[in-house]
Homo-oligomer: A and B are copies of this chain.
């Protein structure tokens, strides 16, 4: 007889069926107060039998913790957001915390609406995420009565923020190329006004020293193509490796190299950035690239907001999570190239 009635079972039903008071039922179920072991077991069995599940609304109303958080994103496309959101949700579901997803489309009115809805719902915290590091939220998040964590987005100075470690990621790519014996490494990346592009480029320049060249453009395949054409058209030594600021750019680079009959990886090795599987797996040859560990970023943000919502201290400032090198075939193996 599992909850066949039309109305949800309440703790009152449990108490009645077990022949105890409501408080005893509550104590038995939550292991609070003093309860006889035998009674406790009976209450629990009855609760199970009639399919009792506590009402999260009533619980939240009393405890002032709703065990829900809001995730505010201004990414419409979802390539970055969904893996992070899945990571957040995955790590929190085991703590009984659910996630409201709010897509703001970067529209301040929509963002404000979502924010108010979240506050009305007494969420325990908010995770703000964007599609780029240096984008501030479309709505004021700084004077909120609940904690806020920023992931892949710029927060105020003293806020808790998680970034992928673009500097380390870029170094990973360059070091990999160097280990394979490449020395003339070129960097083709996105627009200079993207913080991530600047960080990666600087890291590349620091690692490669003299002769290094970073070409800024768009986050597009077209730009990768165009950049390679211009580099191979001009006189002078040609690069033997290209480190790209994104997988899309890498894709354009690979296409252009093929058009020029340049062999990959024999003549030129290519490394991408993003590990956007659907692109990186499909290039010919499959692309060696840098994974930003978006899901892990989500895990960390989720745990951070969880701690903050419990009042536990979390170190403020920017935490950079290491990227991971994913080796496929666009650089060759050390053996091949050696």
Contact = CB atoms under 8 A, between A and B. Distances in A.
Nearest to A116: B53
A105 B57 CA distance: 27
A58 B117 CA distance: 14
A248 B101 contact: no
A291 interface: no
A118 interface: yes
A193 to B, nearest CB: 20
B119 A53 contact: yes
A89 interface: yes
Contacts of A86: 76, 78, 103, 105
A203 interface: no
A57 B121 CA distance: 6
Contacts of A71: 101
Interface stretch (A91-99, A179-187, A310-318, A327-335): A91-99
Interface string A59-100: 011000010100100011111011101100110011010111
B89 A120 contact: no
Number of copies: 2
Contacts of A120: 53-56
Most central of A6, A55, A96 by chain B CB within 10 Å: A55
Contacts of A240: none
B103 A100 contact: no
Contacts of A29: none
B57 A122 contact: yes
B145 A8 contact: yes
Contact of A89 (B101, B122, B252): B101
A221 B119 CA distance: 45
Interface string A233-266: 0000000000000001001100100000000000
Contacts of A83: 76-78
A102 interface: yes
A113 interface: yes
Given A57-B57, A103-B90, A278-B77, A98 B118 contact: yes
A66 B76 contact: no
A48 to B, nearest CB: 13
A273 B101 CA distance: 28
Contacts of A213: none
A82 B282 CA distance: 22
19 contacts: A53-B116, A53-B120, A54-B120, A57-B60, A57-B61, A57-B66, A57-B122, A76-B83, A77-B277, A78-B78, A78-B81, A89-B101, A89-B103, A90-B110, A96-B117, A98-B100, A98-B121, A100-B101, A255-B255
